[in-house]
């Protein structure tokens, strides 16, 4: 278990050029190197890029195979294919000779669908002209043109227009010379003005013929699509495996074009996790036969960040990345967030009835999102509102993150004896008396506890800041953080002394003198290191400690609201007339209180960590570690660079 990202090392490899393709293949399959632009000094005297074997052919074939894959119906592919070298890959690609068949089929389908669309347009016109039962050529010939007007659209006045009414639409017939003027006036009404095409015959006869033509065209489309499906059944697995292998080889081409080289050598640089360094070194030496140099690159660059959170806590990485990815050399707060946030959330909810609902809702939501079978449809208003805010992945993360918080809420609810605001738990079990900490009765004590918690979190933040500065060798900043710790504890001890009415005179109480000294030394250290900014921020650290009192504030608000709702409901039991209103208020009030508890507890719990805690040690703005690799679905790893 680590509280820091994986340690990184920047390396430089200088190797024999003839092994570039094979070495890039090995590095790709290792998947542990983030390649970077080579330092400018090493580019001098070298060409701009490293050429890989059959580069142009690989790129051209990739475009062809991507196009074929996009046109064929998708199929499930279970077996993975292995290619031993680039020559084999290209030969296999050339042997897949279905491009022309796919092109002919797609062109024919496109033509047939255009024909079907044209038939549909004519059928729409003919169905509207059926009530007239006249030869359609009367409406469009060498002398006149006609338009069908729908939805009572306003028609320009002209004495040369001939109007026919069918009950549903109006047919306007006009001399050819007026057609352009009419079209310009009616052009703002798309979909409401339909042009009558030139056709010969009565509507019913034409409709019959066109429907036969349409049926024949649809049948041909189905035959062609069945042919494509058969092609896909035979070749889809081979096609996607070749496409994936070509993509991988093309990635190597893109990387190689950024690697400077001379006649005999090439250079690459990148970041690698320190634990993977020896494996990379031995692989490189094996492939190049020892004709290589592998060296560390001394740099002040911030390394990329590879988080290494235990699997059960990994979902909380999303909350940290939402705030900012940690830098490669600073403490990763994911584990701290994963432990502290559920505690904050559960205490603020503080009701075991609410906790049970949240637990069941989270379990149901997680199961529903993961389910691949048929799902019961929910009201669109609810699903539409939720999906407009969260993606399915975000909903799943939220549901899982709320599970430990719900458990803490149940435990806190038992301690506070709150079940939807009702006191249901027994106060006596046999000879044992059980004491519950009612938030209203024990408000002052609980406020003091949350205050102590605030002091702990702020102090812990400054201690983590000291550790970060130690790792980065920032000695001055360590002194500044020590100053903040002295100031915080000096103020806290003074505050507690005031609460408990202790002697604050330094002449009569040596502890008071030490306290004043700690505050003074803390302020001096802060100002010495952080100058005026530190002086301005002195009051903010006190407000950050006091901010943790909101944990009790939100808990009290929830308790008071549910007790008010419950008291009205209980009083309504005495009056049958008020009982209906009491039940309605109980349901609506409890739902509102629970929603408020979930939302406020979640927002404020995150805020206390993001603002009051992270600000003491966390800088963020890290760059994610993006190794040179591809997630293989259809191919197996192999040193394909060999020829």
* CA 261 distance to own-chain centroid: 39
What gap in Å lies between CA 14 and CA 260, rounded to an integer?
10
Sign of CA dihedral 225, 228, 234, 236: negative
Mean pLDDT value of segment 44-67: 89
Kindly tell me if the per-residue pLDDT of 55 is higher than 70: yes
For residues 414-442, average pLDDT = 88
613 neighbors 458 (Cβ within 8 angstroms):
yes
For 497-553, write each residue's pLDDT tens digit. Answer: 888 888 888 888 888 899 999 999 999 999 999 888 888 889 999 999 999 999 999
Per-residue tokens: 630: 């591809």
Question: Rounded to an integer, what distance in angstroms lies between the CA atom of residue 331 and that of residue 258?
Answer: 33
pLDDT at 7: 94
Nearest CA to 418 among 593, 582, 635? 593
Is 167's pLDDT higher than 80? no
- Identify the pLDDT of residue 112: 95
Pick from 179-188, 269-278, 384-393, 451-460: least confident: 384-393
pLDDT for res 194: 87
Cα of first residue to Cα of last residue in the chain, in angstroms, is 43
Which tens digits make up the pLDDT trace of 93-112?
999 999 999 999 999 999 99
CA distance 249 to 104: 29
Q: Are 547 and 616 in contact, with CB atoms under 8 Å apart? A: no
CA pair distance 248, 629, nearest whole angstrom:
8
Q: Give residue 170's pLDDT.
A: 85
Contact 34, 304 (CB under 8 A): yes
Q: Which alpha helices (H) appear in 178-273, and where do they start and end? A: 179-186, 203-256
The pTM of the full predicted model, rounded to 2 decimals, is: 0.79
CA–CA–CA angle 52, 55, 56 (5° rounding): 155
The mean pLDDT of the chain is: 89
Q: Over 70: is that where the pLDDT of 486 sits?
A: yes
Radius of gyration over every alpha carbon of the chain, rounded to an integer in angstroms: 38
What is each CA distance from 71 to 67, 99, 297, in whole angstroms? 7, 10, 47
């Amino acid at each position: 278990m680590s509280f820091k990202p994986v340690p990184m090392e920047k390396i430089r490899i200088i190797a024999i050029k003839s092994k570039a393709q094979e070495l890039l293949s090995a590095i790709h399959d290792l998947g542990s190197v983030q390649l970077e632009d080579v330092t400018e000094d090493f580019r001098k005297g070298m060409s701009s890029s490293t050429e890989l074997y059959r580069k142009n052919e690989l790129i051209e074939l990739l475009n062809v195979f991507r196009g074929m894959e996009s046109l064929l119906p998708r199929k499930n592919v279970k077996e993975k294919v292995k290619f031993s070298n680039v020559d084999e890959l290209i030969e296999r690609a050339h042997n897949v000779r279905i491009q022309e068949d796919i092109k002919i089929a797609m062109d024919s389908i496109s033509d047939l669908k255009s024909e079907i669309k044209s038939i549909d347009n004519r059928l729409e016109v003919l169905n509207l002209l059926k009530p007239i039962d006249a030869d359609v050529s009367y409406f469009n010939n060498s002398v006149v043109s006609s338009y069908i007007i729908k939805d009572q659209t306003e028609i320009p006045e002209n004495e040369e227009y001939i109007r026919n009414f069918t009950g549903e639409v109006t047919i306007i017939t006009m001399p050819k010379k007026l057609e352009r003027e009419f079209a310009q006036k009616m052009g703002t009404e798309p979909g409401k003005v339909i042009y009558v095409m030139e056709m010969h015959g009565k509507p019913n006869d034409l409709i019959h013929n066109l429907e036969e033509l349409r049926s024949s065209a649809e049948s041909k489309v189905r035959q062609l699509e069945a042919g494509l499906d058969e092609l896909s059944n035979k070749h889809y697995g081979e096609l996607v495996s070749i496409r994936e292998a070509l993509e991988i080889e093309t990635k190597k081409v893109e990387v190689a074009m950024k690697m400077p080289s001379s006649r005999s050598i090439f250079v690459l640089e990148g970041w690698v996790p320190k634990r993977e360094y020896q494996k990379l070194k031995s692989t490189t030496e094996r492939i190049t036969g020892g004709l290589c140099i592998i060296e560390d690159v001394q740099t002040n660059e911030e390394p990329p960040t590879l988080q290494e959170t235990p699997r059960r806590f990994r979902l909380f990485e999303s909350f940290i990345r939402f705030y900012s990815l940690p830098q490669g050399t600073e403490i990763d707060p994911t584990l701290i967030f994963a432990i502290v946030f559920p505690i904050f959330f559960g205490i603020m909810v503080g009701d075991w009835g609410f906790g049970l609902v949240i637990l069941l809702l989270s379990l149901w939501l997680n199961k529903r999102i993961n389910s691949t079978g048929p799902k019961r449809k929910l009201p669109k208003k609810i699903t539409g509102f939720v999906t407009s805010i969260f993606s399915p992945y975000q909903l799943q993360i939220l549901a899982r993150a709320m599970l430990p918080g719900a458990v803490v809420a149940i435990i806190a609810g038992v301690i506070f004896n709150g079940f939807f605001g009702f006191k249901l738990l027994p106060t006596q079990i046999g000879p044992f008396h059980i004491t519950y900490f009612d938030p209203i009765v024990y408000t002052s004590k609980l406020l003091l506890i949350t205050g102590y918690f605030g002091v702990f979190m702020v102090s812990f933040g400054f201690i983590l800041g000291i550790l970060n500065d130690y790792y980065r060798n920032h000695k001055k900043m360590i002194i500044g953080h020590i100053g903040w710790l002295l100031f915080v504890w000096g103020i806290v001890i003074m505050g507690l002394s005031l609460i408990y009415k202790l002697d604050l005179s330094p002449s009569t109480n040596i502890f008071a003198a030490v306290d004043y000294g700690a505050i003074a030394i803390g302020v001096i250290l802060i100002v010495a290191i952080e100058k005026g900014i530190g002086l301005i921020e002195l009051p903010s650290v006190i407000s950050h400690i006091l901010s943790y009192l909101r944990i009790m504030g939100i808990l009290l608000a929830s308790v008071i609201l549910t007790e008010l709702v419950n008291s009205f409901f209980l009083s309504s039991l005495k009056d049958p007339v008020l009982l209906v209103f009491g039940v309605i208020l109980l349901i609506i009030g409890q739902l509102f209180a629970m929603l408020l508890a979930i939302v406020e507890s979640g927002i404020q719990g995150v805020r206390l960590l993001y603002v009051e805690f992270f600000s003491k040690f966390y800088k963020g703005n890290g760059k994610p570690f993006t190794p040179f690799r591809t997630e293989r679905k259809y191919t197996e790893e192999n040193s394909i660079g060999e020829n």
